[in-house]
Amino acid sequence: MVTIKSKREIELMREACRVAALAQQEIEKAIKPGISTFELDKIAENVIRSNGGIPAEKGYPSGIKGVPDFPGSICASVNDEVIHGIPSKKVILKAGDIVSVDLVAYKNGYNGDCARTYIVGNVPETTKKLIEVTKQAFFEGIKFAKEGNRLGDISHAIGSYVEKNGYSVVREFQGHGIGAQMHEDPGIPNYGKSGRGLRLQEGMTLAIEPMVIMGKPGILELEDGWTIISEDGSLAAHYENTVLITKNGPEILTII
């Protein structure tokens, strides 16, 4: 079910999203060669909890027998890892790496969700371009995030921008509605046809999240049951914000 948020709910969403954005800001400051993804996880958890929130990814059920619930407060996916990387003391970032950090803050009954891909030290221009295109794909998509447009308008804008730049969008995972639940309807693919799908309405809150692979589109899941990597071993980037649909256009709640 697609939920339409009331004015009061939107204010609560705004606050949860503010906390999520704060956590990303602190992570960005901390990124440097030698830091572990476990340390990044602790930074995010501290920011979220000290602002009255709960890191909603921690304990997220896998839904699969034998696969433990998600242990981290963030997903930290390095280089060819696309999403759902598990933070670890053993994963030490080094110059030339990229790391995608996806986190959700839950506060006062509502969720805020955002993801960024960070560079560690110096990376090649080709890597920077992948990250830039992934971010810009989000902004191309939300040009259509306005009451009266269709969900497919957003999906098509994202997918066609990524492909025009010679990269691949991940098709097995998608963005989603968000609110009292981390994952609500509708699903928001990063490819599709414009003019199709759900009609957007004021008060919808959507987590729009291009996941982009530099090479071919295939993915694999690691044996931990969580981490998703690119099948061809090429780099992957992720960019996500929680967006409020209004009559006049999008309002990005996780950029402060």
Binding residues for Mg ion (CB under 5 A): 102, 113, 115, 240
Pick between residue 44 and residue 115 the one whose CB is nearest to Mg ion. 115
Rounded least distance, CB 148 to Mg ion, Å:
26
Task: List Cβ<8 Å contacts ≥24 apart for 139-145.
Answer: 141/208, 141/210, 142/208, 142/243, 142/250, 142/252, 144/194, 145/200, 145/206, 145/208, 145/243, 145/245, 145/249, 145/250
Instruction: Supply angle C-alpha 247, 249, 250, rounded to 5.
Output: 120
Rounded least distance, CB 124 to Mg ion, Å:
26
Pick between residue 31 and residue 182 the one whose CB is nearest to Mg ion. 182
CB 169, CB 159: distance < 8 Å: yes
Rounded least distance, CB 102 to Mg ion, Å:
4
Rounded least distance, CB 211 to Mg ion, Å:
10
Pick between residue 59 and residue 166 the one whose CB is nearest to Mg ion. 59
d(CA 102, CA 191): 20
Pick between residue 25 and residue 122 the one whose CB is nearest to Mg ion. 25
